[in-house]
Amino acid sequence: MSLIAEQSAGRHQPGGLAPTAADLADARSRFGAPGRNAVVMTMGALHEGHATLIRAARERVGADGFVVVTVFVNPLQFGAGEDLDRYPRTLDADLALAFAAGASVVFAPSADEVYPGGEPQVRITAGPMGERLEGASRPGHFDGMLTVVAKLLHLTGPDLAFFGQKDAQQLALIRRMVRDLNFPVEIVGVPTVREDDGLALSSRNRYLSPEERHTALALSRALFAARDRLAAQAALRARADALLGDPGRAENRAEALSRLGEARAAADAHAVAQAAEGRGAEAVRAAARAVLDDACHAEPPLALDYLALVDPADFTEVEDGHDGEAILAVAARVGTTRLIDNIPLTFGVVK
């Protein structure tokens, strides 16, 4: 084990830093516990969002479990012109945070360790889902991501693997890969962690100037506006149903909603009409888009990449009348920094 690994092992018990697969196997043999094994995969520059993942892993496996945190900036998932060289590398701080949150060992391999002999000729292909949204904006990104996740699952051998819901499309693809290729691991999604002002935690937030950060808050504001519009529509339809003798008849609901609109001078007539027609998806998109449109005229401006309301199973757009789970996802650039965010939504009554 290298000097830094020995020093880290002395500071952070039990397993310290493992730069190679052999070091990881040694740490597991020396410090492994009889409980289950978990992994949290990161690209470093750890923050409270990563700490939440690590704590969730520790809670699931218990005091007798073994929690591996990987730190590896994967070159395969960076496209031309993206920020591979710029990506922050803060290993000492990462070690401190990981062990404070409950890690047993930090596996921080080099590119040569993960890809001996250079980039792999055989890779995982993300398929059609990997070509949508983030995949369309970043061609090849998800192929590279799935390839390294598959390798790290083999190298770490976990019972459970924890990923943040902030990267919703990534999480969906990992779940699909594990299911389709029969990986013997449970994938656990952990809710997005946000800063006090609502901005989703990201290692890229550090690149934002104060003015850019103010503009970037439009991403979370747009998602929350959409969530609130959906809740308001659901409440409106519930009030209409309460007036009906037969809530199953759509025309009766429309009539009741119309009466509600007439009874309340301040009622939003457009919302009443959309709720009557079951146009929840369109209303949700419109509420989010209004916030983002304003931000596009801010100084500095927000440059919208996409706003999409999708089925979490395959990331295809949902239509009006959709009942069930959905994800509202947004990506935009502020200055030179590209940010993503999303929020889960439920339309109708999920049985």
Q: Which residues are catalytic?
A: 50
What is the rounded CA–CA span in Å between residue 158 and residue 134? 27
- Residue 9's alpha-carbon distances to 6, 91, 173, in angstroms, are 5, 14, 35
Query: How far from 224 is each of 122, 202, 271, 282, CA to CA, in Å?
Result: 41, 18, 17, 15
Look at strands 160-164 and 37-42 and give their pairing.
parallel
Cα–Cα distance measured from residue 190 to residue 57, given in angstroms and rounded to the nearest whole number: 10
Phi-psi region of 18 (alpha: psi -120 to 50; beta: other; left: phi over 0): beta
Sign of the C-alpha dihedral computed for residues 170, 172, 173 and 177 taken in this order: positive
- Name the CA dihedral angle for 22, 25, 31, 35, rounded to a multiple of 10 degrees: 160
Structure tokens belonging to residue 129? 């889902």
